[in-house]
Amino acid sequence: MKKILVLIIAAMAVVTVNAQSIENSSGSSTGSISSDGTIENSSGSTVGKITSDGTIENSSGSTIGKITSSGEIENSSGSTVGKVTSDGTVENSSGSTIGKITDDGSVENSSGSTIGRASGVRKEWAAVVFFFFHFN
5 backbone dihedrals φ, ψ, rounded to 5°: -60, -40
125 is in which domain, residue-wise? 2-132
Question: What is the rounded CA–CA span in Å between residue 64 and residue 74?
Answer: 9
Count structural domains, the chain. 1
Query: pLDDT by residue (tens digit) across 67-120?
Result: 999 999 999 999 999 999 999 999 999 999 999 999 999 999 999 999 999 988
More confident residue, 4 or 98: 98
Interacting residues of 124 by C-beta distance below 8 A, sequence separation 6+? 54, 67, 71, 73, 84
Q: Give percent of the chain with pLDDT exceeding 70.
A: 85
Burial profile 24-41: b = 16 or more Cβ within 10 angstroms, e = fewer = beeeeebbbbbeebbbbb
Count helices and strands in the chain by DSSP H and E runs: 2, 12
More confident residue, 118 or 17: 118
Q: What's at 136, amino acid-wise?
A: N
Q: Identify whether the C-beta of residue 116 lies closer than 8 Å to the C-beta of residue 130.
A: yes
Q: Is the pLDDT of residue 5 over 90?
A: no
The whole model's pTM is what? 0.81
